[in-house]
Amino acid sequence: MKDAYKTREQLINELRTLRRSIAKMERAKCKFEEAEKRLHKKLTEHEKLSALGRLTANVAHEIRNPITIIGGFAERLNKNIPSGAKEKEYAELISLEVKRLEDILRDVLLFSNKPFFVKKKLDINRVAVESLNAYKILCNQRSISIQRSFGEVTPVYADKKHIKEAINNLISNAIDAMPQGGSLTIETNEESMNRKNYVTLKIADTGIGIPEKNLNLIFEPFFTTKVTKKETGLGLSICKKIVEGHGGFIKVDSPTGKGSVFSLYFPYRSQ
């Protein structure tokens, strides 16, 4: 209908509808602008982080050699000093601290470099058993019982060394979370999510749990709540990097007071 034939009421209604649409568009525009700002900020942070990562990797690389040399000489000194001498104790201390520095550097290098994965067909159950065996004695000493529930899972296509590193980090965190003892469960399975199939590995503990406010922070590099000085707070960020580097993802659940469950999801590949 031409505007000339419309009643005053109709014209007012149309004007209202038009104003409502304009208001909606303005709200949408604001939202888009906010999203654009957020993404821009993230991009800048990302660029800063990768520059920092490169710098850290270079520094870590440079100090690695002198540290190895110091460690080597400390061992030689240690061998030549008769037992019982005070100097032997000092040499042992140097070796111990050098080992700690080497571990930190290894973590930092692993975190700041793009890890190079050598992917092969891998039985995740076997890797889990190997990791568990490495922690058996410690679990025993800490009154932690181990439960295993291994499914018949399809092999994943993955780098054994790195997957083991991820599992070890999770087991080590679970042990730290149960200073009074408890139960550590490791479970493998196959699962579907959003119409995709995954091979999963879950590590559950009955420990202190994770406060909700920390759930978003724990995967950030250098975030740690531990105060023993030996932690770098890189364990979970490394796990995340490893799993994502295999096309998978990591998830955490920590219902208050009931411990935590960390789940690794690896893409299912039909064999």
Ligand X SMILES: Nc1ncnc2c1ncn2[C@@H]1O[C@H](COP(=O)(O)OP(=O)(O)OP(=O)(O)O)[C@@H](O)[C@H]1O
| Footprint of ligand X (CB under 6 A) | 169, 173-174, 177, 205, 207-210, 218, 223-226, 231-237, 260
CB of 65 to Mg ion, least distance (A): 27
Q: Which is nearer to ligand X, 78 or 260 (CB)?
A: 260
Pick what 218 binds: Mg ion, ligand X, none; C-beta below 5 to 8 Å, kind-dependent: ligand X
Pick what 112 binds: Mg ion, ligand X, none; C-beta below 5 to 8 Å, kind-dependent: none
CB of 271 to Mg ion, least distance (A): 33
CB of 256 to ligand X, least distance (A): 12
Q: Which is nearer to ligand X, 237 or 263 (CB)?
A: 237
CB of 245 to ligand X, least distance (A): 17
How many residues are present in the chain? 271
First-to-last alpha carbon distance for the chain, in angstroms, is 66
Q: Which is nearer to Mg ion, 153 or 175 (CB)?
A: 175
- Give the DSSP per-residue string, 136-169: HHHHHHTTEEEEEEE--PPPEEE-HHHHHHHHHH
CB of 148 to Mg ion, least distance (A): 21
Q: Which is nearer to ligand X, 72 or 211 (CB)?
A: 211
Site residues for Mg ion per CB under 5 A: 173, 235
Residue 119, both tokens: 């992917």
3-state secondary structure of 188: strand
Residue nearest to ligand X (CB): 235
CB of 112 to ligand X, least distance (A): 14
| Beta-carbon contacts of residue 124 (< 8 Å; ≥ 6 apart) | 153, 155, 156, 158, 163, 188, 199, 201, 266
Q: Which is nearer to Mg ion, 77 or 134 (CB)?
A: 134
Pick what 224 binds: ligand X, Mg ion, none; C-beta below 5 to 8 Å, kind-dependent: ligand X
Q: Which is nearer to Mg ion, 235 or 248 (CB)?
A: 235
3-state secondary structure of 82: coil
The CA distance from 209 to 259, in Å, is: 4
3-state secondary structure of 18: helix
| Beta-carbon contacts of residue 6 (< 8 Å; ≥ 6 apart) | 14
Dihedral sign, CA of 118, 119, 121, 124?
A: positive
Phi, psi for 189 (deg, rounded to 5): -165, 180
